[in-house]
Amino acid sequence: SEPSNFECALDIKSRSIKCGKGTYGEWNGLNIPHGRRTFWVRGTDNLGNVGEWKPYNFEVDSTGPDITFGDQETKTQNSPTFRWSSSEPAKFKCRMENSFIEEDCGNGTNAKWTGNEIPDGPHKLMVYGVDKMNNRGPLAELQFNVDSTGPKISFPANQPVVTKNNPTFRWTSSEAAKFKCALDNGHVNELDCGDGTSSHWTGTNIPDGHYKLLVYGTDDMNNRGPTAEHKFIVDNSAPVVTFNRADNVTNDTPQFTWSSEEDVSQFLCSLDGAAYVNCGRGRTGDWSRNVPHGQHVFFVKGQDENGNVGTPAEHTFNVDTRHPNVVIEPIPLKTSNRSTSIRWTSDEPARYLCSIDNAPETNCGFGTNGQKTTSELKDGDHTFILTAIDPVGNRAPILRRRWTVDTTGPKISFPAGQPTLTRNNPTFRWTSSEPATFKCALDGGQFNVHDCGDGISGRWTRTDIPDGVYKLLVYGTDDTNNRGPTAEHKFVVDSRPPEITFSGDLPETTSRNPTLTWSSSEYATFECKLEDGKIFNCGSGDDGIWSGRNMTDGAHSLSVRGTDALGNKGQFISRSWTVDESGPRLRFVGDLPSRARRLPRIRWISNEFAFFECSLNGRNYTSCGRGMQHSWTRHETPTGLLVFRVRGRDTKGNVGEPITVAIDIGA
């Protein structure tokens, strides 16, 4: 209320300190412990009067809220709810163990959090609170397990699939569960069948048939697992064996096959009353042994996987080991007929297999005799092969007959290297498929057959044959007078060089990069030369092309000749042209004054015909005549300096350098 010297104290007045002077004061605390506190202050005026202590009560809060989870179910389904309490009112933040994003999850002294579709497995919920003083409390954690999956039932691999009428089946579960079972044979009735992590089921007096045992489990979270099934067959009946193949007469290795109406764990066989031995399993079986000549009895019975043994099936048979004796009638050793008939006889009925020239055997009859007529055979040596097999499979020794067919004349072949383009003295060679006498003819508008050698090869030579297209014809006759086909060799006689013709028209005046093309009367290798006379290669083919580069202005020529594949070389033919890439060159005619009272007539000449363009005092060029010379003037010309320029443009569009004159026109 008046200027004073202040004393301040915290909690204990006797520990006061000076804390300012004036009509108002301020005190700042530092590192004050947590809890309730009292601040004291009093003043002493300038006359020494001491006022009363004035208290101010306040509370220091520097500790965050403590979160406490009560008793919680730590095993839950996938949408659990968890609750907690706080040591003081707070705003709460929550997150799961694999998330870095915190979410608001309530405020006050109590709150809860609910998860959504949390995957199965262990998890951790983390919660902290922030009080009104913005103090953050310690992180509280709650560990829990999510279980939303039912138990998985597994039948061990060794469970029987075929049983008698009182089967027992066992299974295991992925977790402790209560089990429900049902036997599915057209209707399903569930019943309790144990609990834990494994169990079993036993049936009694189940009729024969196909069944499925269905089992599922429910865990302590009431999650029902998928239904597992085990298929099995109840079989109390013994197998019935029936022969499929059982010949009454066999060779010394008889073979019998049979079948059963059900799968058999083992077939048991016996020959002629001997002890039964294992001879296979499954639904079918076969048996084959070396058995001596005579009559025998074979027995077979089946035993299924449940130990049921059936009644033996019985078969009586005879073993025959003698092969048939076969004789082939004689045939000619050489014939001109392409088809041949072969006959034979046997001392007992038999099935016959025939083969010509080692081709695959084919059936060719049954009985005590037979005949085989061959198809149209090619020329050459041939072999007939006959095999006889009696009804029980005894094979007679293989019989063969050999003969030769010859109806074809010699075949003439020209080797691949014979020339097809020659000069006028060709020689040609050939070979024959067999020794022969040769006849030749040259077909080129006339045909004269003549002898030209014998043996397995031949040669023909002629000289001075005119140019043209020809065929040499050759045929041979063998020692049996078979004439072979005529072979021909086509060839061309060429003694003329290629003829070169330039293509298109070439302007008299061209650019510095001209292109010339030509064609040849035949395929050729080209040689070229320019006006300097140096010969150079310039391509090959039926057509040619040459391009010049950066040629100088002036007259030029190109000469071309061709050489064909036989070396016939032609004469050079030439084409000339002029290169013009420069504009007209002008010059003034007569003396032109540098000063004049009036503009004189200005004359000039050009080195070539040109279109003239004029410019006065730097203005745009305009047309001002054409020809080899021209002149220009103006009758009304202003006084002062006059600058006149003129340039030429030739017929190719080349523009020359302008020439300039300056005249000072006086008044």
For residue range 140-178, what is the model confidence (pLDDT) as tens digits? 999 999 988 999 999 999 888 888 888 999 999 999 999
Amino acid at 616: L
* CATH code linked to domain 586-665: 2.60.40.10
- Residue 382: closest CA among 352, 359, 410, 408: 359
- Asked if 290 and 321 count as a contact pair (C-beta separation under 8 A), the reply is no
- In the numeric block, which tokens belong to residue 32? 């004050």
Query: Is the confidence at residue 186, as pLDDT, over 60?
Result: no
Single out the residue of 382, 376, 375, 372 nearest to residue 333, CA to CA: 382
| Secondary structure (3-state) at 25 | coil
d(CA 191, CA 176): 18
The yes-or-no answer to whether 500-579 and 586-665 have a common fold is yes
Ranges of each domain in the chain: 4-60, 68-146, 153-234, 241-319, 326-405, 412-493, 500-579, 586-665
Tell me the pLDDT of the chain averaged across its residues.
90
CA–CA separation, 298 and 284 (whole Å): 16
In sequence order, the 6+-apart residues with CB closer than 8 A to the CB of 98 are none
Q: Under CATH, to which class is 153-234 assigned?
A: mainly beta
pTM of full prediction above 0.75 = no
DSSP string over 227-276 = PEEEEEEE--SPP-EEEEE--SEE-SS-EEEEEEEEEESEEEEEETTPPP
Instruction: Tell me if 72 sits within 8 A of 142, measured CB to CB.
Output: yes
Q: Amino acid letter at 289? A: R
- 242 against 566, higher pLDDT: 242
Fold of 68-146: Immunoglobulin-like (2.60.40)
DSSP 445: S
CA distance 427 to 439: 16
Structure tokens, 236: 């109390």
What single letter denotes the amino acid at residue 504?
Answer: G
Is the model's pLDDT at 555 over the cut of 90? no
Residue 203's identity, in one-letter code, is G
User: What span, in angstroms and rounded, lies between the C-alpha atoms of 577 and 568?
Assistant: 29
Chain segment 424-469, per-residue pLDDT in tens: 889 999 999 989 999 999 886 566 888 999 999 999 988 888 888 8
Out of 2.60.40.10, 3.30.70.20, 2.160.10.10, 1.10.10.10, the CATH code matching 412-493 is: 2.60.40.10
**What integer is the mean pLDDT of 190-209?**
90
> Can you name the residues that pair with 129 across neighbouring β-strands?
92
> Cα(300)–Cα(268) distance, rounded to whole angstroms?
6
Q: What are the tokens at 482? A: 């078979």
> Residue 482: which of 404, 370, 407, 589 has the closest Cα?
407
Q: Report, as an integer, the average pLDDT of 183-203.
A: 85
Is 454:436 a contact under the CB 8 Å cutoff? yes
pLDDT of residue 552: 83
The sign one gets for the Cα dihedral 70, 75, 77, 79 is positive
Q: Which fold has domain 500-579?
A: Immunoglobulin-like (2.60.40)
Asked if residue 188 has pLDDT above 70, the reply is no
Please tell me the distance from the alpha carbon of residue 553 to that of residue 8, in angstroms, as a whole number.
Answer: 117
pLDDT of residue 353: 96
Task: Give the per-residue pLDDT at 509.
Answer: 64
User: Distance between CA 356 and CA 378 in Å, rounded?
Assistant: 12
Q: How many Å apart are CA 621 and CA 659, to the nearest integer?
A: 13
pLDDT in tens, 229-266: 999 888 888 899 999 988 888 888 899 999 998 888 89
Q: 136: pLDDT confidence band, cut at 50, 70 and 90?
A: very high
258-286 average pLDDT score: 92
Q: Which residues pair with 645 in a beta bridge?
A: 615, 660
Structure tokens at 446: 């006339």
The domain made up of 241-319 is a member of CATH 2.160.10.10: no
> Which one is the CATH code of 326-405: 2.60.40.10, 1.10.274.10, 3.40.50.9100, 2.130.10.10?
2.60.40.10
What is the SS3 assignment for 13?
helix
Average pLDDT over residues 515-537: 91
